[in-house]
Amino acid sequence: STEGCRAAVAWAAGKPLSVEEVEVAPPKAQEVRVKIVASGICRTDDHVLGGYFPNIEFPVIPGHEGAGIVESVGEGVTSVKPGDKVIPLCLPQCGECCFCLNPDSNYCIKSHFSESQNLMPDKTSRFTCKGKQIHHFLWTSTFAEYTVMPEYAVAKIDAAAPLDKVCLLGCGFPTGYGAAINTAKVKPGSTCAVFGLGGVGLSVVMGCKAAGASRIIAIDINKDKFAKAKELGATDCVNPKDFTKPIHEVLMEMTGLGVDYSFEAIGHKDTLKAAFESTTVGWGTFVIAGVAVGEQSLPGSPPPSLEKSVPKLVSDYMAKKFDLDALVSHTLPFEKISDAFDPTIAGKSNRTIVVF
């Protein structure tokens, strides 16, 4: 039956989120309804509120970095059952398309990116509020207490995992960590540069460290980010504001030939260029880990890819292979969601999590 619950609705571009009572229809065949327990606040949700994505229609329930418990399943669902802990995949994994079958990619063809619309695959919505249909976002909409997803967009995880931490494995952490480990395939002993030290950039730093990089240069215009970057493995911290010359020249001088790997985790044209120009001629690798939107975007720049195996990341976290807790700077009750973006926008948050 339909569930009434709380959700944060963005009614129009440029308006703050508003907490509403919404109705969530039961899952149809091959769909799963999940009770969301915790959801991280990512810059991309803020870009939605700002109206920067031309394909996202309003009103919409954003949120794509969540963790929860399966409440009910539709006909034909076999991979999860009520009570299972799951993480919604904002890049679903059908497991059958050429991208899913290629170990070097996870840009699933059967995703909302290919369909350019923010409804469920059958082009309908499971959300209504005040008699109006509300759109989904990335098929996740984790700013709702109950949300409906295609079966192949949820990953079953360890039943012992703390949902208010592992929700970060839905977006921010794998975007950064996966950029270092899977996309760049950072080699031991190498030199890396990480532009931007938000949740994504700090996760890149962790990935570079885990891969055995011997020098990790962390770059941010906010010096308050440096202590955490050092704690997580940065060897040098550089503030472009301390120099008159361009930052790529500073990095060239620090390294001689440039860095082996550079990562952009900001989403700006200028820093994309600077990160590219900081790499060594010949073998340097430049990876885009941020999402550039609006005026800042480059023609044809693809979205970043995510680490493929979310359940394995959960087991690695449980085995203490990386420290996700270090990324969580703020935890707020769901009622405060309208204010939850403030610490991020003020540069005071690594990651903020809201709990239902």
Binding region for Zn ion (CB under 5 A): 42, 44, 94, 97, 100, 108, 171
305 binds ligand APR (CB under 6 A): no
- Of residues 155-214, those binding ligand APR (CB under 6 A): 172, 175, 195-201
State the nearest-atom distance from the C-beta of 319 to ligand APR, in Å. Answer: 25
Contact 132, 11 (CB under 8 A): no
Q: Which does 100 bind (CB under 5 to 8 A by kind): ligand APR, Zn ion, none?
A: Zn ion
From 43-51, 119-127, 144-152, 249-257, span contacting ligand APR (CB under 6 A): 43-51
How large is the angle between the packed helices 247-255 and 269-277, nearest 10 degrees?
A: 20
- Cβ neighbours of 14 (radius 10 Å): 9
> In Å, what is the CA distance from 311 to each residue of 48, 78, 249?
27, 17, 41
* Residues 324, 330, 336, 342, Cα dihedral to 10°: -110
Rounded CA-CA distance 10/12 in Å is: 6
356 binds ligand APR (CB under 6 A): no
Q: Which does 97 bind (CB under 5 to 8 A by kind): ligand APR, Zn ion, none?
A: Zn ion
Phi-psi region of 229 (alpha: psi -120 to 50; beta: other; left: phi over 0): alpha
Give whichever of 62 and 121 is closer to ligand APR, judged by the CB atom. 62
- Cβ neighbours of 104 (radius 10 Å): 10
DSSP code, position 182: I
x/- site string to ligand APR, residues 232 to 271, per CB under 6 A?
A: --------x------------------------xxxx--x
State the nearest-atom distance from the C-beta of 212 to ligand APR, in Å. Answer: 23
**Which residues, at least 6 apart from 61, have a Cβ–Cβ distance to it below 8 Å?**
7, 8, 9, 10, 22, 127, 134, 135, 136, 137, 141, 143, 144, 147
Q: Which does 196 bind (CB under 5 to 8 A by kind): Zn ion, ligand APR, none?
A: ligand APR
Q: Which does 240 bind (CB under 5 to 8 A by kind): ligand APR, Zn ion, none?
A: ligand APR
Give whichever of 178 and 258 is closer to Zn ion, judged by the CB atom. 178
219 binds ligand APR (CB under 6 A): yes
**Which amino acid makes up residue 193?**
A
Contact 204, 286 (CB under 8 A): no
Strands 191-195 and 3-9: unpaired
- Of residues 272-291, those binding ligand APR (CB under 6 A): 290-291
36 binds ligand APR (CB under 6 A): no
State the nearest-atom distance from the C-beta of 224 to ligand APR, in Å. Answer: 9
State the nearest-atom distance from the C-beta of 91 to ligand APR, in Å. Answer: 12
Residues that bind ligand APR (CB under 6 A): 42-44, 47, 172, 175, 195-201, 219-222, 225, 240, 265-268, 271, 290-291, 344, 347
